[in-house]
Structure 1
Amino acid sequence: MDENKFRRRFWMKVIVVGLLAGLIGGGISITIGNVWTRHEQNTVTKVPSGSTKPGGASVQGNKAQLKNPSTQAYNSVKDSVVSVINKQRVQNSGNSVFDMFGGDAPSNSNSGKLQTASEGSGVIYKKHNGIAYVVTNNHVVSGSNALEVILSNGKKVSAGLVGTDSTTDLAVLKISAKNVNTVARFGNSNDIAAGQDVLAIGSPMGSEYANTVTKGIISAKKRTLKVSTNDDDSSNGNSGSSTTTNVIQTDAAINSGNSGGPLINMAGQVIGINSMKLSSNGEGSSVEGMGFSIPSNEVVRIINQLVAHGKVVRPTLGVSMINLSNVTSDSQKNVLKLPSSVNTGVVLMKVKSGSDADNAGLKKYDVITKLGNSKVQGTGDLKTALYKYKVGDSVKVTYYRSGTQHVTTVKLSQTASSKVENDN
């Protein structure tokens, strides 16, 4: 074989071997890459093996402090908190078989069955001579034909109405003290502070959630709210009136059904009776964490009168009045002759003959701007200030007549319950 032919064959073998080696190498590298990818996927998704304990979770001892001030306060009061059931008669619809055939229904057919109309809360605060007394809200018991109380142990008992007061939205019930072992104690609502921890206890959304406790703080020690009452208001000639009331603001959750339940401090003392919440503002925006409670000092003052008299006895001036803000600026200047600096107060439109206001020398068109130490900007302010006094007290009244300021003393001898016509 000549030398050139041998060389060509040799290099051909070298080239073939190189190509095969390259293909094999490339194939190996691709295979290794695929294997590595699959290995990573299997590492991530594959459930580890070898565990001999199914689940593997366990419960450890609770390291949280169970007997903290909140639980101790709640436990000291919870058995005195009750649910209040308002039962009302449901009148027949009139589509009975007697109506269909033109007959007369039996005399008792319109009595209706008693059904639960609403549910609220209350708190037992006193036991005496076999009777236990419960304080709740007036709006919880309003319109009732019968009342029931569900004790903390679930026992249901009948309740009697001792008295109500729409002005402060308070009511007192009485039940048998046979199954009552715990009564709540009132703390001084003047001795509270914003930021102080408080608990609200009651039956939000009804007795199904009885003795629910929520925690919060006192958001404000004193808020002044305007509330409506069922009293006659001669200032506008309509039935129903409004007055301002001082309340405690809290962010402890208060919902429908909590009304009448206690707001307590960390010593387990009742410092307020939960009455209302603000759920939206005037523009309809939702509001959270704004509940209000009637201060305990006011509660005690009212419920003592309800137990003693069945009602709250309040003084009356014996006048009809309107807000000065409802009088035109021309009339304020030309008729009432008020100085420009006086733009708030109440205008007396009628003074009843022989009334306390009449005896003190007050007359029609007098403008009252102050009662005692309280400024009077409207009829609600005057009522609020007046209701702080008792029958028999004397109070100074600051007023304007024909542009001149005067001060007189009114002896509060008459009561609102004895009024002959709409007055204040």
Structure 2
Amino acid sequence: MRRATIRTLSFILRFSALGLALAFLVSLLAPSIVERLRGERASIAVQSSPRVSTPSSHSEGPVSYADAVSRAAPAVVSIYANKMTTVRQYRIIPDPVTRRLFGAIAAGPAYRKQEHSLGSGVVFSADGYVLTNNHVISGADDIQILLSDGRVSQARVIGADADTDLAVLKIDASDLPTIAVADRGDVNVGDVVLAIGNPFGVGKTVTMGIVSATGRQLRLSAYEDFIQTDAAINFGNSGGALVNALGELVGINTAVYRNAGSDPRNGGLQKNNAEGIGFAIPVSTAKAVLDQIISHGMVIRGWFGIEYADMSAISAATPSTTPLQRGVIVTEVLPGGPGDSVGLRRGDILLKLDGEDIIDQPDLRSHEAALAPGSVAKLDGLRNGVPFSVELTLMQRPQNAVTRT
């Protein structure tokens, strides 16, 4: 009996010791097991929940351009130009042979008719200088400007420049809201831009797009460096503002391109009515023209007295042994002009101006215009494959000079 009791006590003691050891081991391992379970649970939660991406600060943009519009729109005005024209009525002669000989014949007395032109403008000074397109006010007898506060003011033409299709108007007013001009005027493809004007006379309207291209040459005028945009520009927007996302002026809306299907008579470049692709004069050009017209009543430009074209346009005239990628070819020498006085000839290839490479026709045209009348310029080129160099004294470009672009 006593031996049985001792064996029982011994078993109990061994079991108790084993239990204490197990308890001690569990107490050591428990925290790591708990943390592990928590980690697995968190991993499951992350896998089962959707991921939310936060945009980086450089990709964030304004959700509204109201501030830009409120800054720029008060300086954009509507322009209504009127002119009287003489209209004659003609009758078409039915017989084709007679029609070829005599054309149409007058069918009644001539009468006077008033034509209306609609456009926009930008206020550059608080005392009333307004910049717009020349084609908006060309030939107008009466020009009225509707200001942003509802006032209507009579405007007079200070000067116009057909070579850039710009004109400066003046109204008698003070303390007018003026446009903020972009410091450098630089624009990049992809920049957000807003077109502000009075399309179709419906009232001041803002459209948004991006800069689609820069440096466009459309052959509409002598000096071109257009900004292309997909911001909607229509009849009445001409002369209005193209501003950046800060409301700063980067261009003057000028021309549009209309795709009118397969009928070529309805398509092409227009200066009054289109949609889809628009063009604006860079603010650097617009500001330079404005300053010169205010100072001199006209734009003063240097002039070589010659006409020239890109090499690519006159490839047939280039000797096959001289494959030139840059430069221009002289297409006309005006009698009595600077080029004529130094012996420049039609067909001469001009490669350098004052030691700098001539890239193309627009490049030379802009550098020529920037030179002061009376200054001396050196032209290097080729004549029948033989190098030559001349120095000529520039004249002032005539106002009625016709550039064949």
Do they superpose with TM above 0.5?
yes
Q: Judging changes above 3 Å, is the alpha-carbon distance between structure 1 residues 282 and 139 closer, same or farther for their aligned structure 2 residues?
A: farther
Distance in 2 (alpha carbons) for counterparts of 1:302 and 1:203: 23
Aligned to 2:26: none
Instruction: State the alpha-carbon separation in 2 of the partners of residues 332 and 213 from structure 1.
Output: 48
Contact 2:227 2:281 in 1 (8 A): yes
What is residue 323 of structure 2 aligned with on the other side? 341
Other-structure match for 1:390 = 372
Supply the AA of the counterpart residue of 1:280: N
Q: Give percent identity, aligned residues only.
A: 31
Q: Is the 8 A contact 1:360 1:411 kept in 2?
A: no
Q: 1:168 aligns to what? A: 164
Alignment of 1:274 onto 2:253: yes
Q: Deviations over 1:199-257 (max 9, x none)?
A: 11100012xx222111122222x23213334xxxxxxxxxxxxx351111222111111
Query: Are 2:231 and 1:248 equivalent residues in the alignment?
Result: no
Partner of residue 138, structure 1: 134
User: Aligned residue for 1:197?
Assistant: 192
Q: What is the aligned partner in structure 1 of residue 117 from structure 2?
A: 118
Q: Deviations over 1:266-312 (max 9, x none)?
A: 22211111111122289658995321111111111111011111111
From 298, 308, 315, the equivalent of 2:302 is: 315
Contact 1:260 / 1:275 at 8 angstroms: preserved in 2?
yes
Please give the secondary structure, in 1, of the residue aligned with 2:176: coil
The TM-score, its normalising length taken from structure 2, stands at 0.67
Measure the CA separation in 2 of the matches of 1:332 and 1:326: 10
Check conservation: 1:189, 1:295, Cα contact below 8 A: no
Residue of structure 2 aligned with 1:366, choices 348, 352, 367: 348
- Counterpart in the other structure of 1:152: 148
CA RMSD, aligned part only? 3.6
Partner of 2:211: 218
Q: Where in structure 2 are there 5+ consecutive unaligned residues? A: 1-61, 91-108, 269-273
Change (3 A) 1:393 1:248: farther
Separation of aligned partners in 2, 1:423 and 1:217: 31
3-state SS of 1:210 partner: coil
Per the TM alignment, residue 381 of structure 1 is displaced from its structure 2 partner at its CA by: 5.8
Change (3 A) 1:136 1:288: closer
Aligned with 1:127: secondary structure?
coil
- CA distance 1:400–1:75, change in 2 (3 Å): same
TM-score normalized by the length of structure 1:
0.64
Contact map agreement 1:396 1:409 (CA 8 A) in 2: yes
Q: 3-state SS of the aligned residue for 1:417?
A: coil
Structure 2 CA distance for partners of 1:187 and 1:225, relative to 1, 3 Å: same
1:332 and 1:360 map into 2 onto residues whose CA distance is: 22
The one-letter amino acid paired with 1:345 is V
Q: Deviations over 1:5-49 (max 9, x none)?
A: xxxxxxxxxxxxxxxxxxxxxxxxxxxxxxxxxxxxxxxxxxxxx
Change (3 A) 1:323 1:81: closer
After TM superposition, the structure 1 = structure 2 runs for residues 409-424 of structure 1, keeping only pairs within 5 Å, are: 409-412=391-394, 414-417=395-398
SS of equivalent to 1:205: helix
**Segment drifting more, 279-288 vs 166-175:** 279-288
1:350 is displaced (CA, Å) by 3.6
Aligned residues of 2:333 and 2:339 also touching (Cα < 8 A)? no
Return the offset for 1:368.
2.1
8 Å contact kept, 1:227–1:245: yes
Aligned to 1:17: none
